[in-house]
Amino acid sequence: MNKEHSTVVAGHGSLSAGLALLDDLPQLDVAVTRLVKALSDEDIGERELAGIIDQCPTLSGKIVGLANSAYFRRNKPIHSLQDAIMLVGMRTVKSFAIATALQEPFSNQQCPSFRPGRFWLHGILTAHAARELSKKAEKKLAVHPEEAYLSGLLHDIGLLALAHLYPEALNDLLVENEIGNESLASRTEGMFGVTYRLVGAALLRYWHLPDSIITIAEHYHNPDYRGPYWALSGIVGTAHEWATNLVQQESSSPFNAARSRMLGISSDDAETVRKKCLEQLTVNLELSEIISGAKPEFYNPAAIADAALELKDRLVDTIGSLSSIRSLSDLDIRDKNESEILKDALKILMEHQDMQRCSIFLNKDSTLVNVSGLGWDEHFVNEATQEKKSIATHTFALGEGIIGMVAKSGEMKHARNCAVDPLFKKLATHQDYVPGSLICVPVRFQDITLGVLNVSHSKPNVFSEWHERFLMVYANMLGQLIVYNRVIRDMDSDITLRTKELQEALARAESLSTHDDLTGIYNRRYFIEHFNKLIQQCDRYNTKAAVLMIDIDNFKSINDTYGHLEGDKTLIKVAEAISQCARESDIVARLGGEEFIFALQQNNCDKAVQVAKRILEKIRQLDCGENVTYRITASIGISCYDQSIKAPQKCVEKIMQEADKALYKAKHSGKDCIAVHAEP
- HEC profile for 605-640? HHHHHHHHHHHHHHHHCCCECCCCCECCCEEEEEEE
Report d(CA 566, CA 466) in Å as an integer: 83
pLDDT value for 486: 81
Report d(CA 32, CA 50) in Å as an integer: 13
User: pTM of whole model > 0.95?
Assistant: no
Q: What percent of the chain has pLDDT over 70?
A: 77
pLDDT value for 71: 57
Report d(CA 55, CA 386) in Å as an integer: 73
E strand or H helix that includes residue 372: strand 367-375
Report d(CA 2, CA 166) in Å as an integer: 9
Q: How far is CA 60 from the centre of its chain?
A: 42
Identify the CA nearest to 651 among candidates 639, 661, 662, 663: 639
Please check whether residue 408 is in contact with residue 380, taking contact to mean a CB–CB distance below 8 angstroms: no
Q: With bands split at pLDDT 50, 70 and 90, how would you rate the model's confidence at 18?
A: very low
Which domains does the chain carry?
27-107 (no CATH), 115-303 (1.10.3210.10), 325-378+391-489 (3.30.450.40), 522-676 (3.30.70.270)
Beta-carbon contacts of 187 under 8 Å, excluding residues fewer than 6 positions away, are 173, 176, 177, 180
Going across the sheet that includes 448-457, the strands are: 395-397, 367-375, 357-364, 448-457, 437-445, 413-415
Give the highest mean pLDDT range of 138-142, 180-184, 311-315.
Answer: 138-142
Amino acid residing at 15: L
* 76 class by beta-carbon count within 10 Å (0-12 exposed, 13-18 middle, 19+ buried): exposed
Q: With bands split at pLDDT 50, 70 and 90, how would you rate the model's confidence at 554?
A: very high
pLDDT value for 69: 66
Please check whether residue 577 is in contact with residue 622, taking contact to mean a CB–CB distance below 8 angstroms: yes
Q: With bands split at pLDDT 50, 70 and 90, how would you rate the model's confidence at 140?
A: low
Q: With bands split at pLDDT 50, 70 and 90, how would you rate the model's confidence at 552?
A: very high
pLDDT value for 426: 60
CB neighbourhood size of 350 (10 A): 20
Identify the CA nearest to 662 among candidates 547, 520, 490: 547
